[in-house]
Amino acid sequence: MKFPFQTIAIIGKQKSPEVAEPMLRLGDFLAARGLRVVVDGLAAEYLKDHSFTALSLDEIARTVDLAIVIGGDGTMLNIARTLAPHGVPLVGVNQGRLGFLTDLTPGNMEVEISAMLEGKYLTEQRLLLLARVLRKDREIYSGLAFNEVVVHRGNISSMVEFEVRIDGEYLYNQRADGLIISTPTGSTAYAMSAGGAIIHPGLDVLELVPVSPHSLSNRPIVVRGSSEIELLMHRTGDICVRYDSHTNIDLQLHDKIVVSRFDKPVLLLHPQGHSYYHTLREKLLWNQTL
């Protein structure tokens, strides 16, 4: 990570014209401080009369020292998968709903980012997943996931049947609507809805959460973050593997999904005083009384 930051990207939520105002305001604020500002090409179409350089995400990944993402958690998930392999740190400005990954608001972003530019921030590393799909021992797809990798049935198919191995050791055969392999970041997403535990993002672990298992004895299990998880499909039909609700790959009989930790983490910058527990209280409404 370069410091002080010299080139900063502002990335907005796709197909959302409302990001134009905060993007322009933040861009002008950063440019006035003598910093080079670039914007992502897709969101740039909503910006009028601006002087910032528009780049693709791949160009941004190779160019900038810091990326500020204006949107919701879904936007952060998408951007993290692209920028993490290049070690670009991310700051999130929430213009979505929950905002587990986006600390700042359009109202306080100038104040908080000004402090960050002076070195007043916390750095956090978040685990990222690499999932490969093998068919007859040949890799047909490989992708990254920040929240989770999910094997699940379609709307009309019967239960998924698969075998699970951890670091080569047989764990169990499973019949269920699906299986979630979640990072700690993803533990407050689909995994939580399916009955998984909330896991502090500082822990180096992965969580396996069955979705509507046929046997009630099949419960969520937490394993080491360094584990390699293999799923071998024993029954197929309308079944696929999904990466962060972003990419879907249809599966066939005997396909194998191999999930492991990606060798580079996602780098998040938080304002000083950031607390994960405060985020949980705020986003999950734990402060409300009956």
Q: How far apart are CA 186 and CA 238, in angstroms?
A: 25
Residues with a catalytic annotation lie at 73
Residues 248-256: contacts with CB within 8 Å, 24+ apart?
A: 249/133, 249/140, 249/141, 251/133, 251/151, 252/135, 254/135, 254/136, 255/133, 255/134, 255/135, 256/133, 256/134, 256/135, 256/230, 256/231, 256/232
Determine the CATH number of domain 129-261.
2.60.200.30
Residue range 101-140, pLDDT digits in tens: 999 999 999 999 999 999 999 999 999 999 999 999 999 9
pLDDT by position in tens, the chain (length 290): 555 799 999 999 988 889 999 999 999 999 999 999 999 998 888 888 788 999 999 999 999 999 999 999 999 999 999 999 999 999 999 987 778 999 999 999 999 999 999 999 999 999 999 999 999 999 999 999 999 999 998 776 678 899 999 999 999 999 999 999 999 999 999 999 999 999 999 999 999 999 999 888 889 999 999 999 999 999 767 899 999 988 999 999 999 999 999 999 999 999 999 999 999 998 898 877 65
Tokens of 100: 């587990």
Q: How far apart are CA 281 and CA 288, in angstroms?
A: 9
Helix (H) or strand (E) holding 130: strand 129-135
Residue range 254-287, pLDDT digits in tens: 999 999 999 999 999 999 999 999 999 988 988 7
Domain 7-127+265-283 of CATH type 3.40.50.10330 = yes
> Domain map of the chain by residue range?
7-127+265-283, 129-261
Tokens of 64: 């900038």
pTM, to two decimals = 0.93
